[in-house]
Chain A
């Protein structure tokens, strides 16, 4: 006997299995298709259909993409903004959440409300745009990091987690004369690694996938991240793309299409690679959020 009795008998197990298999196949296939396309020769792909396996297997597409200087600069920008953005917002959110979770702090509630209101009210796109320009953040790397540094929802998640830490631990440290910063660094931080992982993951994915801030505020193409490079590769028509790469494309095996697919795969790869490691964390994050909601 299985310990848990479920409402389903085995024929439905079978049907559900098939449905889930089909859904999983539909989910994964577009990525698989892009992957095999990136390993296909353009010439072959034009005459036969790419379906499950590369046609005319070649690494030329990757060679061609890696010859584009902008891939390196854009990749570096993406990595830099993701790492610095995650660290910055973890620090700000962690400190604020710790202070907010201290119920004894006078004004605690008003400050929390002040911080939470922007979740529901915003000035809209244009006032934000004008503000950023007035701050002189136009074409400035900081525009990636500063505006997204704090988001109240993350603070709520974190405070919910901090509330599960036994207050006696904090109290006894305070009695021993530890400063608030020491308490935070030595007690709260080590105990809260799971919630920091959740916040870091959501933030990191958000940073890696962002493109709109660069589109709005960065006109210097050397400062744009990978997503924007991919976006322009996808949007530019084929002729422009060939012009762009003129003289650098080995004949026949590389085309605008294969270049697009290859860049697309390279842009997605970091997410796919770290995905298995963060899977259990984001589910935990959702659960904390769900309990709160």
Chain B
């Protein structure tokens, strides 16, 4: 029986726990020749360096703004859509639109970014052609830093909107039908039923989802991922596009500042662990139980 567990244990030890040992690089002036165990220790120097680094502060701001925007706008929309889908009579139309709405979730960010770049191109993109035909001036979406936040937020919402309805649809279908029947007998109209039955019925799910989404505000698995940023950014919009995990990637892999990158990564990991545990604690307090 233990043999069954062996491959999984070996995998996590080798690829999850072994790298954790590498966190000591955060306190070293790492050099490749000496390796992880013989590089000189420099205390907290790496932490001091990035705290004073202007690009780090920009990255922190971008992370907060982009994920904040996403939560603010992207969180309520799936709830509204789920209620709409649920209240519609079953039909081929409903099933087809629902199926379509899940599709972008499964398409890679590489592909999405390729399409977006083409669609919002200043000269030939269909979005700008539409703007021109409506009498506006073309907008350089991917060329000026000022537009990046709204672009990445809209595209991310577009990509995940349908997918995020699934959990609410599950919650909606758990509401007992006789509640609606009773309300109807009492003469409640559609809106009243929405306010007094539907919303209270899915409130626990909404609360739980909100807490967990808030937990990803700063985290290494944020709502708007490294994958999204890496593919959507370009040098022109770097000042508003580059988030913390992008900073960690660039410092470590491109500029070979292992110590600095590990230090920043450690802070990000600690903050995201804290956020997850914190949101779990809040959920436990409010709902009586957490995810673990």
Contact = CB atoms under 8 A, between A and B. Distances in A.
Interface of A: 2, 4-9, 12-13, 16-17, 19-21, 23-24, 26-28, 30-31, 33-34, 37, 46, 49-51, 91-93, 95-96, 98-100, 102, 105, 111, 114-118, 120-131, 135, 146-147, 149-150, 152, 155, 180, 184, 205, 208-209, 211-212, 216, 227-228, 230-231, 234, 257, 260-261, 264, 267-268, 271-272, 275-276, 279, 282-283, 286-287, 290, 293
B20 A227 contact: no
A234 B18 CA distance: 35
Given A12-B190, A99-B2, A231-B110, A123 B21 contact: yes
Interface string B91-126: 001101101111110111111011111110000101
Nearest to B198: A7
Contact of B170 (A46, A98, A114, A286): A286
Given A24-B101, A268-B107, A124 B119 contact: no
B108 A129 contact: no
B8 A95 contact: yes
Contacts, number: 262
B268 interface: yes
B266 A124 contact: yes
Given A17-B88, A37-B118, A268-B107, A149 B184 contact: no
Contacts of A276: 99
A75 to B, nearest CB: 15
A75 B116 CA distance: 23
17 contacts: A7-B87, A9-B190, A17-B93, A20-B85, A30-B116, A49-B126, A50-B126, A93-B8, A115-B9, A117-B16, A128-B22, A180-B4, A212-B226, A212-B230, A234-B110, A271-B106, A275-B106
B167 A286 contact: yes
A127 B19 contact: yes
B248 A34 contact: no
B34 to A, nearest CB: 13
Given A111-B5, A286-B166, 8 more contacts: A9-B189, A9-B190, A27-B101, A124-B265, A126-B248, A180-B1, A234-B117, A276-B99
Contact of A130 (B22, B96, B99, B188): B22
Closest 6 CB pairs of A and B: A127-B22, A124-B265, A7-B193, A123-B19, A209-B108, A118-B16
B11 interface: yes
Interface size, B (range): 35 or more
Nearest to B8: A96
Contacts of B54: none
A90 to B, nearest CB: 12
Nearest to A228: B110
A271 B25 CA distance: 40
A228 B111 CA distance: 10
A13 B113 contact: no
A96 B190 contact: no
Contacts of A130: 19, 22, 25, 36, 258
B292 to A, nearest CB: 8
A61 to B, nearest CB: 14
Contacts of A260: 114, 118
